Amino acid sequence: MKKRENKLNLILASGSPRRKQLLGYLNIPFEIKTADIDEVSNKESPEEQACDISEQKGRAVFENIEAGDFLIISSDTMVILDGEIFGKPGNKENARVMLNKLSGKTHEVVTAVSFIDKSGEAINFFDKTKVSFNQIDPELLEEYLDTEDSLDKAGAYGIQGASLTFISQIEGSYSNVVGFPLEKVIQKLKENGYWTKLR
């Protein structure tokens, strides 16, 4: 097959194995480039904050790319309960506090995604999913915390991991809760003319 002249190089600006797996389902070749940022935003709403941090991640990679035709995809996920934003806990005690707050309640997962191409312009969007938790058994909670699976995930849990037992119901995109809203990513790639250039 003749290679297209307008072929875009796809770059995932994330070291997350979950995002890598989900993007891989599109059967589009991509490379991974990451850059450390503080993941801090002064925006007001959780949605704006997630979009801002996602764009920061993409821009940090953009600054280190040489010439070429490329599309950077970056992402950020937040958990929101009653207006409180839960990011990554970072340690076991923070994870325990987060999960005890989420126990028996319904929260929202917001995942923002950013596209940045060679023009340097960013396209930001987000998806939301409602997630309801069972009352978490204290013994199961401690067993889960001992695995340290919670430390690198927004809200201290991953829907695809051992904490799946905490969840009673989700309303919306499953992949959004994992950290990469695949359905919306495809939609936005098509809307913005990237889809055919990547395939």
pLDDT at 40: 86
- pLDDT (tens digit per residue) in 39-95: 888 898 999 999 999 999 999 999 988 778 999 999 999 999 999 999 889 899 999
Which residues have a catalytic role annotated? 76
State the distance between the two ends of the chain, measured CA to CA, in whole angstroms.
Answer: 12
d(CA 15, CA 20): 8
Closest to 97 measured CA to CA, from 87, 109, 89: 89
Domains of the chain: 9-198 (3.90.950.10)
- pLDDT (tens digit per residue) in 46-58: 999 999 999 999 9
Query: Is residue 133 within 8 Å of 168, Cβ to Cβ?
Result: yes
pLDDT at 98: 96
pLDDT at 4: 47
Q: Which pLDDT band, with edges at 50, 70 and 90, does 162 fall under?
A: confident
Cα–Cα–Cα angle for 94, 89, 175, rounded to 5 degrees: 135
pLDDT at 161: 77
